[in-house]
Amino acid sequence: MSALGLREFHPFEASGQHFLYMVPSAGVFHVDTPSWNVLKTLDGQPMSPEELTEALADRHPANEVADAIQELLGIHAIGDVHLPPTKSLPVIPPQDFPLTTMVLNVTNKCNLACTYCYEYGEDKIVDTDFGEKPKFMSEETARESVDFMFKEAGTNRVANLTFFGGETLLNFKVLKKTLVYARERAVILGKEVQFSLTTNATLLRPEVIEWLVDNKVGVTISIDGPKESQDEFRVFKNGMGSYDVVQPKIKELLKRHNNPPVGARVTLTKQNLDVMKIFRHLTDDMGFWSVGFAPVTTANGRDYAIEGDGYNDMLAQFEELAEEFKEAALENRHHGFSNLNETLEEIHKGMSKAFPCGAGLGLVGVATDGDVALCHRFAGSDEHKIGSVQSGVDREKQSRFLETHHIAHKTDCHTCWARPLCAGGCYHEAHTRYGTTTQPNLHYCDWVRSWTDTCLQVYGEIATHNPDFLKQYDRVASIPA
């Protein structure tokens, strides 16, 4: 072998120790001092094993360096400097890849008029006001969807059915009947269904809460924080804020419903960026089990779009919450920061993604008329339709989608160490921002790398001091939120 050079990995430190996040395999390794010194010495200056041994002779005996080189070669952290970089091949999953989650858009109507909404706001992609799609999904279409879900789930024993909208609970009648039908079919087919829904909480009447509790329906509440945050954008059609309406209803729900625990989902905007304050309010004051944050999906230049320093501000607060999460994890306490929790699971498993998410593959969104789209955010869009629950998935369209969206084709991502976890980011975000789902979301690359680095550090700390905490992530599959 000629000279040795560094291969692709991202080094990070936790508890004063050195770790490597391997790219693109996503393996996480702890490296000791001799190995670390080998890597440091090779950084930017390839050398032969003999030169390396000599360069480190004052610190490490030759046999130690030789062993370290051997082990680093084994995990491909170093290699022949002339070897080409590892490339992801555009291999697409088999056509009978099982469906894990079906998101059913039971209505495209909403009783709120949140200004930033991707479904009704300035950046909407489907005409939800005057379009041809029915406002509500019929019982029949919902039943056909359930049949479609079980068929597409293939050999999977568990299927996840998520009700979505518009405001999901506007079609409570169909929800109830669909759940019963899905349960019946599951028994006949020897399968299990897990139900969940997302709601704005305005319609959480006592009977609805009763139903959610009785049927163990996982609930995610879209809420932006304390009154001033919530009322900024989450308003009724007359402009009135929704906080005073939803707050007592959420409290009632949280009092009764903890199986599975209820989560909050916050949309961050330029105007609503006090992450810490929102988190405190939703966990301590309201009692949510977990809180997930997502920056608003928007085209460039919108009034509420987070820009420049906003991302840094958000990152600093995410890091603060991550620190809290870490402290809690080291003492086996729960902390509700779900962004970190989810990423830790992905790091623990070593997920290396060919696609940023399961859209169009393990997850689909179903529009009110039964059209199947990539995900709930594209439900009803003809451009992003890949079939219908009545006629099944159009395999040719699906293959074409997967072929063109594979990470192997996202050349912008090929030198980024965070690609195993990010894989270019949300298709819908890309479509809104750049007009095409194939484009990686380059506007938040720096943010993603910084945040991923923070998550890796937390992972390293927990792995060092309380590895048992990570056992919770050993489970085979997670239920998508």
Partner 1 sequence: MKHIKAINQKAVRIEEYGRSEPGTGTAGGPDGDDVVALETRDSGPHIPLGCSLVFAPGWEVDSSGGTAGLCAPVERDLFDCHNGCFWPVQVPDHLNHAADWTSTCATAQQDWRKIDLIFP
Determine, following the binding rule CB under 8 A, whether residue 466 of this chain makes contact with partner 1. Answer: no
Q: Which stretch binds partner 1 (CB under 8 A): 32-40, 110-118, 365-373, 421-429?
A: 32-40
Determine, following the binding rule CB under 8 A, whether residue 474 of this chain makes contact with partner 1. Answer: yes
Determine, following the binding rule CB under 8 A, whether residue 158 of this chain makes contact with partner 1. Answer: no
Look up residue 349 and give its two tokens.
């498993």
The least CB distance from residue 473 to partner 1, in Å, is: 8
Determine, following the binding rule CB under 8 A, whether residue 27 of this chain makes contact with partner 1. Answer: yes
| C-alpha to C-alpha distance for 469 and 332, rounded to whole angstroms | 7
Q: Which of 170, 226, 176 is nearest to 201 (CA)?
A: 170
The least CB distance from residue 143 to partner 1, in Å, is: 39
Considering only 23, 31, 217, 372, the residue that binds partner 1 (CB under 8 A) is 31
Determine, following the binding rule CB under 8 A, whether residue 25 of this chain makes contact with partner 1. Answer: yes
Q: Which of 145, 150, 208, 199 is nearest to 176 (CA)?
A: 208
Which backbone phi and psi does 356 adopt, to 5 degrees?
-65, -30
Determine, following the binding rule CB under 8 A, whether residue 392 of this chain makes contact with partner 1. Answer: no
Look up residue 263 and give its two tokens.
């989560």
Q: Which stretch binds partner 1 (CB under 8 A): 24-32, 159-167, 275-283, 360-368?
A: 24-32
Q: Which of 288, 103, 289 is nearest to 195 (CA)?
A: 103
Determine, following the binding rule CB under 8 A, whether residue 90 of this chain makes contact with partner 1. Answer: no
Determine, following the binding rule CB under 8 A, whether residue 79 of this chain makes contact with partner 1. Answer: yes
Determine, following the binding rule CB under 8 A, whether residue 62 of this chain makes contact with partner 1. Answer: no
Pick the closer one to partner 1 by CB: 123 or 346: 346
Pick the closer one to partner 1 by CB: 28 or 186: 28
Determine, following the binding rule CB under 8 A, whether residue 68 of this chain makes contact with partner 1. Answer: yes
Pick the closer one to partner 1 by CB: 141 or 352: 352
Considering only 35, 101, 338, 368, the residue that binds partner 1 (CB under 8 A) is 35
| C-alpha to C-alpha distance for 424 and 405, rounded to whole angstroms | 9
Determine, following the binding rule CB under 8 A, whether residue 46 of this chain makes contact with partner 1. Answer: no
Pick the closer one to partner 1 by CB: 52 or 291: 52
| C-alpha to C-alpha distance for 383 and 52, rounded to whole angstroms | 56
Q: Which of 414, 417, 351 is nearest to 23 (CA)?
A: 417
Determine, following the binding rule CB under 8 A, whether residue 34 of this chain makes contact with partner 1. Answer: yes
Determine, following the binding rule CB under 8 A, whether residue 463 of this chain makes contact with partner 1. Answer: yes
Pick the closer one to partner 1 by CB: 11 or 387: 11
Pick the closer one to partner 1 by CB: 136 or 459: 459
Determine, following the binding rule CB under 8 A, whether residue 24 of this chain makes contact with partner 1. Answer: no
Pick the closer one to partner 1 by CB: 24 or 263: 24
Pick the closer one to partner 1 by CB: 344 or 379: 344
CA triple 267-411-312, angle to 5 deg: 35
Determine, following the binding rule CB under 8 A, whether residue 76 of this chain makes contact with partner 1. Answer: yes
Q: What does DSSP say about strands 385-388 and 371-373: parallel, antiparallel, or unpaired? A: antiparallel
Determine, following the binding rule CB under 8 A, whether residue 73 of this chain makes contact with partner 1. Answer: yes
Q: Which of 471, 433, 162 is nearest to 305 (CA)?
A: 433
The least CB distance from residue 467 to partner 1, in Å, is: 8
Pick the closer one to partner 1 by CB: 58 or 474: 474
Residues 320-379 that bind partner 1 (CB under 8 A): 347-352
The least CB distance from residue 121 to partner 1, in Å, is: 39
Q: Which stretch binds partner 1 (CB under 8 A): 72-80, 176-184, 293-301, 316-324?
A: 72-80
Pick the closer one to partner 1 by CB: 353 or 384: 353
The least CB distance from residue 154 to partner 1, in Å, is: 24
| Site of interaction with partner 1 (CB under 8 A) | 1, 19, 22, 25-32, 34-35, 49, 64, 67-68, 70-76, 79, 347-352, 459-460, 463, 474
